[in-house]
């Protein structure tokens, strides 16, 4: 799942976990929850002149488009009152292209909101399976703009020292803060699951944005932005989980929990380090119908973020990335194997600190994604594992294979070699190293890997990674 030169691999080994005690049945409107959402938004971004004729409106585009992301939070209920806090991150395709903007050079512009984030307090009233709520708090947005001088007609190509030579492109980007309010309705459709419909209004005020052509030409615009969003989604309530289904464990390496029942949810967090890069990921694999040791439906959610650097003629380019997966598929569980086949949606955003016209991996890309992984124990003391995925967002791919031997002969901690290949439109990388898999401390499992990597952009280096997971 690496999406940048030497970017960290954010792929979790879907079968590498231990079974832990399931949460007891609880009030469905209390406790931790996480989910995903999608929807539609529209945003007004008024550009006001700040360098030649201050106060003059240069453009007033209306951005429109789809969006999608994840949310997670915590609720506390007393009687009918439900209060909580929620964080959400939303990738956006709100945009308007080729609208008329500045008169000098007869320019055309584009504007796009790449992502939104918010941390909100929620207050609601619960009635049976329904929760009606309002929310509000701080919010953030990432915007990008371009301005191209067409030099058509008789328009001048220079104004107050700002030159707009024919086909000269100016770029601008900014992350700004603001506030949001909204409300919605959430409805329980099962013990752990709810559906939601929500409206949000966001106000990011007026901020000065600097346009640059990368060659010393700059000018400023004061941009005022407001956003409206309508979205639908779902939540999984971890505290509402009842005991897992009965039946025997499917795999000899998977331990029973304290109640003798298998788990229904695996959560994981991981970190990866490469040459001039680092990143992390968090996610969950859910068995919505039965348990993790029975064949059946699976839901896979993943969020990731990181930082990277790569060389350029004008100096190093630094980038940050975020990404998310929402996949659905089927798991085949046997006495000594586990196979997951998944497909769904993926979104990735890349932000660079400087202009790099040669790099196509910029901005936000939505795509389809497929993933497969297999865990096999040929004998109780040996391990064979493989996984592979591909996303159409920036044509991103990742594949890994490893084998291991249980040197403890009883605790099933596997040690052995591993190989991996990853990349996207910008880079390709391969890795050769070793791993220690399925070390457990209480209810938490830890996996470690490290070795040698060769990257087509940043060259040779070492890599390392660690993942933690638990099940309930």
Q: What is the mean pLDDT of residues 182-190?
A: 93
CATH 2.40.160.40 maps onto the chain at: 252-471
> What backbone torsions phi and psi does residue 229 show, to the nearest 5 degrees?
-135, 135
Decide if pLDDT at 322 tops 50: yes
Which span out of 161-175, 260-274, 341-355 was modeled with the highest average pLDDT?
341-355
Please report, to the nearest 10 degrees, the dihedral formed by the alpha carbons of residues 300, 3, 140, 328 taken in order. Answer: -20
CB atoms within 10 A of CB 127: 9
The pLDDT of residue 447: 95
Given a contact cutoff of 8 angstroms between Cβ atoms, the answer to whether 437 and 383 are in contact is yes
Q: Is 3.40.91.50 the CATH number for 252-471? A: no
CATH 2.40.160.20 maps onto the chain at: 31-236
The pLDDT of residue 241: 44
Confidence of residue 6 (pLDDT cuts 50, 70, 90): very low
Q: What is the mean pLDDT of residues 154-180?
A: 76
> What backbone torsions phi and psi does residue 239 show, to the nearest 5 degrees?
-70, -15
Given a contact cutoff of 8 angstroms between Cβ atoms, the answer to whether 196 and 190 are in contact is no
- Closest-CA residue to 180 (of 225, 222, 221): 225
Decide if pLDDT at 178 tops 80: yes
Higher pLDDT, 9 or 147: 147
Separation between Cα atoms, residue 150 and residue 464, nearest integer Å? 48
Task: Look up the pTM and report it.
Answer: 0.84
Decide if pLDDT at 16 tops 70: no
Separation between Cα atoms, residue 416 and residue 17, nearest integer Å? 18
Domain spanning 31-236, CATH class: mainly beta
Given a contact cutoff of 8 angstroms between Cβ atoms, the answer to whether 96 and 61 are in contact is yes
- Closest-CA residue to 211 (of 315, 350, 139, 105): 105
The pLDDT of residue 63: 94
């Amino acid at each position: 799942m690496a999406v940048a030169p030497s970017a960290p691999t954010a792929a979790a080994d879907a079968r590498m976990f231990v079974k832990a005690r399931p949460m007891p049945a609880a009030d469905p409107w209390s406790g931790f929850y996480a989910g995903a959402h999608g929807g539609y938004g529209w945003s007004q971004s008024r550009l006001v002149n700040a360098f030649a004729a201050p106060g003059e409106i240069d453009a007033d585009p209306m951005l429109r488009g789809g969006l999608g992301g994840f949310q997670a939070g915590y609720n506390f209920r007393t009687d009918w009152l439900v209060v909580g806090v929620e964080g959400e991150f939303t990738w956006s395709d709100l945009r308007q292209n080729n609208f008329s903007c500045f008169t000098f050079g007869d320019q055309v512009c584009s504007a796009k909101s790449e992502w939104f984030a918010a941390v909100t307090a929620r207050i609601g009233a619960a009635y049976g399976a329904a929760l009606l709520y309002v929310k509000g708090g701080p919010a953030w947005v990432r915007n990008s703009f371009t301005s191209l001088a067409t030099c058509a007609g008789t328009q001048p190509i220079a104004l107050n020292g700002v030159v707009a030579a024919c086909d000269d492109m100016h770029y601008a980007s900014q992350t700004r803060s603001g506030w949001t309010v909204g409300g919605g309705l959430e409805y329980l459709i099962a013990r752990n699951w709810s559906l939601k419909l929500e409206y949000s209004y966001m106000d990011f005020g007026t901020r000065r944005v600097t346009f640059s052509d990368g060659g010393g030409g700059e000018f400023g615009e004061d941009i005022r932005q407001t956003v409206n969003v309508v979205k639908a989604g779902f939540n999984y309530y971890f505290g509402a989980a009842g005991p897992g289904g009965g039946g025997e464990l499917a795999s000899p390496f998977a331990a029973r929990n304290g109640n003798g029942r298998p788990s229904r949810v695996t959560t994981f967090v991981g970190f990866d380090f490469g040459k001039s890069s680092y990143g992390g990921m968090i996610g969950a694999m859910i068995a919505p119908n039965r348990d993790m040791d029975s064949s059946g439906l699976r839901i896979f959610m993943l969020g990731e973020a990181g930082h990277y650097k790569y060389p350029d003629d004008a100096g190093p380019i630094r980038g940050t990335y975020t990404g998310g997966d929402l996949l659905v598929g089927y798991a085949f569980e046997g006495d000594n194997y586990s196979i997951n086949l998944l497909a769904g949606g993926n979104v990735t955003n890349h932000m660079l600190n400087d202009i790099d016209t040669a790099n196509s991996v910029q901005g936000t890309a939505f795509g389809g994604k497929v993933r497969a992984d297999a865990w096999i124990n040929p004998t109780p003391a040996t391990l064979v594992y493989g996984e592979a995925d591909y996303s159409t967002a920036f044509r991103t791919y990742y594949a890994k294979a490893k084998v291991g031997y249980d040197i403890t002969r009883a605790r099933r901690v596997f040690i052995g070699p591993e190989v991996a290949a990853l990349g996207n439109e910008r880079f390709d990388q391969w890795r050769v190293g070793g791993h220690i898999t399925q070390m457990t401390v209480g209810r938490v499992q830890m996996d470690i890997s490290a070795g040698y990597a060769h990257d087509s952009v940043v060259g040779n280096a070492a890599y390392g990674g660690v993942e933690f997971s638990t099940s309930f």
